Structure 1
Amino acid sequence: MAMMLLTLDELLEKTAALHNHLCPRQVIGVRMGMLAGELLELDLPQPNKRLLTFLETDGCFADGVAVATGCWLGHRTLRLMDYGKVAATFVDSKFDRAIRIGVHPDARYSAREAEPDARSRWHGQLAAYQHLPADQLFFWQPVHMRFSLEALVSRPGVRVNCAHCGEEIINERERIINGETLCQACAGEGYYDTAAEPAAIAGPR
């Protein structure tokens, strides 16, 4: 049985419920996800893990993309590459095809032209982004990923322990340094510096 595709209004209702309100960037995210489905000829939101999405920013936009595509952090089909851009790359893992979609540089101007009587710029964008033609709202291009999707997804059930801190590492994210298996933090790639030893934080009182 063919999957019943959701309309724009239905997807906006879902993302508004998830985010507790509806804003212009959520509309951008939903429409971008819908466009990705058209360009890659996929029925979205997906019921499986065929599509992988790489977001270039977080926030309201990300929720819109997730609702429209069915890609979620918990499914390991949504990734954040924090470039500070309202853009995303959508990868059809079955056929190794990828499309990067970004917001057209003139999208805000087009919104003002489309909704000149809106009571504010925000309200004009909220309305216009729902009906502007895709080529006025977005630009897109085919791209090639610089890394292996197989390595990104990794093998299930594979786990090792860091030789320095002893913490478990899953998803094959360890580093081998001078023959030692290390987590990324102990290999010098961490995003934090420890303020105290773990025992001093969580030890018995």
Structure 2
Amino acid sequence: MGLLAGQALGMTVPRTDKKLMVLAETDGCFADGLSVVTGCWLGRRTLRLLDHGKVAATFVEVRTGQAVRIAPHTDLRTRVRAGRVDGEKRWDAYMNAYQTWNDQELFTVTPVRLTFDLAAVISVNGKRVLCNACGEEIINEREVRHGEVVLCRDCAGERYWQ
């Protein structure tokens, strides 16, 4: 999927710069695989997790905003199971298909337009402010502003913990 994204966007992968961003739609080994192939990592701020529970990802050329969403064909698992050789384990059948089928048999590639401000997600490195309520530091322009009051998302009511 990551190699196909590179082709679709006209970019070599893996990347060592920050010109590619990946929006992974599930976590776990799928997201790890995307990182290895693309060079995009959470720690480099070039991989984002949008957990929709889908084995799919959107790949964005950061300079231009060009983006493609790549997902397995909806009938992929059914086709793999239908082609299994007698006695072949399901996992082995999937692995064989992933390694031998062409990209068009495996994936859909859809050009997409992001519905959020990419520049705001990327932000500016080194921006830091303190929350007026709890005093904790907020980085990467993730604060919530109410006039002159600066709040972290937790103090602004977006807390995910109690």
Q: Same fold (TM over 0.5)?
A: yes
Residues 1-205 of structure 1 aligned to structure 2 (within 5 Å):
32-117=1-86, 119-177=88-146, 179-193=148-162
Shift in Å, 1:112: 2.5
What stretches of structure 1 of length at least 5 have no aligned partner? 1-31, 194-205
| Between structures 1 and 2, the one with greater helix share | 1
> What amino acid sits opposite 1:158 in the alignment?
K
Please give the alpha-carbon distance, in whole angstroms, between the structure 1 residues aligned to 2:46 and 2:158.
Answer: 24
Deviations 1:56-79 (A, max 9, x none): 000111111111111001111000
> What amino acid sits opposite 2:42 in the alignment?
L
Cα distance change of structure 1 residues 165 and 140 upon mapping to structure 2, 3 Å threshold: same
SS in 2 for 1:38: helix
SS in 1 for 2:11: coil
Please give the alpha-carbon distance, in whole angstroms, between the structure 1 residues aligned to 2:87 and 2:71.
Answer: 25
Please give the alpha-carbon distance, in whole angstroms, between the structure 2 residues aligned to 1:64 and 1:97.
Answer: 22
Percentage of pairs with the same residue: 50
Shift in Å, 1:177: 2.7
Please give the alpha-carbon distance, in whole angstroms, between the structure 2 residues aligned to 1:123 and 1:108.
Answer: 12
| Between structures 1 and 2, the one with greater strand share | 2
Please give the alpha-carbon distance, in whole angstroms, between the structure 2 residues aligned to 1:76 and 1:158.
Answer: 14
Shift in Å, 1:119: 2.6
Shift in Å, 1:118: 5.6
Shift in Å, 1:117: 4.0
- The runs of 4+ residues in structure 1 deviating greater than 6 Å are none
How many aligned residue pairs are there? 162
**Superposition RMSD on alpha carbons, in Å?**
1.3
Please give the alpha-carbon distance, in whole angstroms, between the structure 2 residues aligned to 1:107 and 1:96.
Answer: 29
